[in-house]
Every structure is written in structure tokens, then in C-alpha cells.
Amino acid sequence: MKVSLFVFLSILFYSCSNSDERIRPEIQPISQSVYASGVLKSDGQYQAYATVNGIIAEIFVSEGDTVKKGEPILRVSDKVQKLNAENARLAADYNDLSANKERLNEAASLIDLSRSKMKTDSSVYFRQKNLWDQQVGSKNELDQRELAYLNSKNAYANSIIRYNELKRQLNYAASQAKRNLSISQTLSSDFVLRSEMDGIVYNINRSVGEIVGPQTSLAVIGSAKDFILEMQIDENDILLVKTGMKVLVKLDSYKGRVYEAVLTKINPLMNERTQTFTVEAKFVQRPERLYPNTTFEASILIQTKERALLIPRKYVFKDSLVLKSNGDTQMVRIGLQDYRKVEILEGLQETDELILPEQ
């Protein structure tokens, strides 16, 4: 009897002490979501780097200016390169075939001369040979005519070879000089940094007179209209998300307001240092004014129910137990849950009264 009375008094005291924490399950909508934080980036945003070494001579734009693709941003001093380009042009002019026409004409004239001499020596030799066949003349004279003919024949062949070799050398020298000139002109264009897209110059990192090189970031350029929400998601949640899901965004610069976006890209490579994956989203509804590198928090909606039996998450202990107002412990099956409430699939009804378990 004393034991029963003690149990009754304990339950009564517990119930009274938690009377202000009594709740009943309610039918309400709920959404399961994955938390993400990130940084706003301009679409196509990139850092522009120098491709040559030198000193910044001119800057053509200011931060905040709009630019077109191909429009110059700044120029690196190219005095030495201009001299190299001029030398390349002079070399190209010197080695041009038209400039060496006299050398080719001279070689061609030598061919004509050697051909004429070969024909003359050939005529003399065969005439002497006919006489020798008729037993007229001497063998020594015939041999001399034959030797003269063979020499002129070789001279003619060599003149053709020399002409072709000269033409080949001139062609090669002209082609090489033109290539060098083209390379020099291309390098000259590298001294002017141009925009790779239509957009806005968000930042100029250097000033006139500073020394720069291929590893030097000179400017940040991006789209003026389109922005990307770049987010980091924990590796434990990455399997829950997929492209096309709705994203609710809270920007630090627009406190108290929520904007809708849609998940557009999932980077499949995990960052080993942070143990997170990078995902991207685009606004469905967006603020009027946005700036790159603005921070935000987001909820990626995994699943939504318009009618679900819900209780506060703090009323569930050991993952699947709740405490009824009469002191009984009830096992429940959990469904969707957010940071405040949890869906009860089995184990409770709307009429059940629950009390907050001791923490």
C-alpha cells in the first residue's frame, strides 16, 4: 500500500511540474530540408591574369564599369616587345621572295647559260664523233670534245640543283620570318588584357606602375545580371539532394526575407579538407540588387507534406520514444523532421497528450 501511494504521489508531482509543457500532436505542413551555407557569385565570374611580365602602363576601366567581350581592361608596357616586333618585320621583309627576285633571276640565267653551252658542246661532240666514225680526225680530239660535253652537261644539271636549293632556302627563310612576325604580333596583343565576357568589372587588383606577371591576378569580372548561389553541403547530406529541388535562401544583406531558388548543379568531388560538397543554385525570385561574395544561408527542400501529425522535436527522446501525460512511455515511428518539429507516422493520435521528458 505504501509503495502504490509513493508511485501515485510521484506521478502526480511529475505531472504537476510539467503542466505548462503539455502538448497534443497537431496536423500541420512540414518540409524536410538540408542546411547549406554559401557565397553569392556573379555568373561567369573569373579572375583575369596577366600573360606576360611587365609594368602596368594604362588602366582603361574603373571598378563598377560595364564592359563588352574583347574590350581592353588594361595594358602592360610593351616597349621591348615593340622593338622585337619591328625586328621581326624587317626580317620578314628581307627574306620575302619578292625581295630576293634578283638572286633567283641570276640563278635562272645561269641555267640558261649552262644549257646553251651544253647544247653547243653536244653539237661539237656528235659532229666530231661522226667524223671519227668515218675515220676522220684523231681519237684525242674526240675525247676532248666528249669531256667538254660531259662537263657542260654536269654544269647544267648543277645549275638547276642550285636554283631549286636557293628557291627552297628563300621559301623557308621567308616562311620562318613570317611566322616569327606573326608570333611577335600575337605576343604584342598579349600585353593588352581584354574582357572575356559581357559583364561588370567588380575589382581592379593592381595600379599603374606595378610589376605584374603570369601569376598576377589583375581584375575580377563577372555577369552584371545573373548570379549563382554557391553552397557547401555536408557529406552526410549529399545523397539526399538532386538538381531541380527548391531552395529557400536567406541573405545576410536582406535580413528577414526569404527568396526562392532552384538547385542547378552538384559538384561530384568532395573537398577533403572541409568534408563538404559544392552545389549551385539559381534564383527563381531574386532581390533587386546583388553583389558578389555576399554570404547567405539556405534550406534545400527534400520533401514536403501538407498534412502531417507533428510534435516538437524536444518531446522525442532516444530517437523513438515520447512520454504521455499519464507517465507512460510510448514508442513512435518518425517521418519527416525539420529543426523544430517531427512527423509521427505511428504510435500517437491527435487526442494524445504529451509531457516534456526530463533532459
pLDDT of amino acid 215: 83
Question: Residue 191, Cβ neighbours under 10 Å: how many?
Answer: 19
pLDDT at site 228: 93
- Whole-angstrom distance between the N-terminal and C-terminal Cα of the chain? 31
Q: What residues contact residue 94 under an 8 Å CB cut-off, 6+ apart?
A: 177
Task: Say whether 35 sits in a helix, a strand or coil.
Answer: strand
Return the CATH fold of 17-30+305-355.
2.40.420
Torsion sign, CA atoms 300, 305, 307, 309: negative
Residue of 230, 229, 294 lying closest to 261 (CA atoms): 229
Q: Which regions of the chain are under pLDDT 70? A: 1-20, 78-100, 177-178, 180-190, 359
* Sheet of strand 66-67, all strands in order from the earlier edge strand to the far edge: 46-49, 217-222, 199-204, 66-67
C-alpha Rg value of the chain to the nearest Å: 45
Residue 137 burial (10 A CB sphere; 0-12, 13-18, 19+): middle
311 touches 348 (CB < 8 A)? yes
CATH of 46-77+191-221, one of 3.20.20.140, 2.40.50.100, 1.10.10.10, 3.40.718.10: 2.40.50.100
Grid cell 493520435 — which residue? 349
The model's pTM is: 0.54
Amino acid at site 210: E
- Specify the pLDDT at position 15: 43
* Residues 245-283 pLDDT 10s: 999 999 988 888 999 999 999 999 999 999 999 999 999
Q: How many residues does the chain have?
A: 359
Name which CATH class applies to 35-44+224-303.
mainly beta
Alpha helix locations (H) across the chain? 2-17, 79-94, 101-133, 139-190
Residue ranges of the domains in the chain?
17-30+305-355, 35-44+224-303, 46-77+191-221, 80-188
Q: What is the pLDDT of residue 9?
A: 34
pLDDT of the residue at 230: 95
Grid cell of 98 as nine digits: 619578292
What is the distance, to the nearest Å, from the Cα of residue 161 to the centroid of all Cα atoms in its chain? 54
**Residue 257 burial by CB count (10 A; 0-12/13-18/19+): exposed, middle or buried?**
exposed
Listed residue (40, 38, 32) closest to 278, CA to CA: 38
220, 67 contact by CB (below 8 A): no
* Res 4: pLDDT: 39
Q: Residue 250: its pLDDT value, please?
A: 92
Single out the residue of 177, 175, 173 nearest to residue 87, CA to CA. 177
Residue 187: how many CB atoms within 10 A of its CB?
16
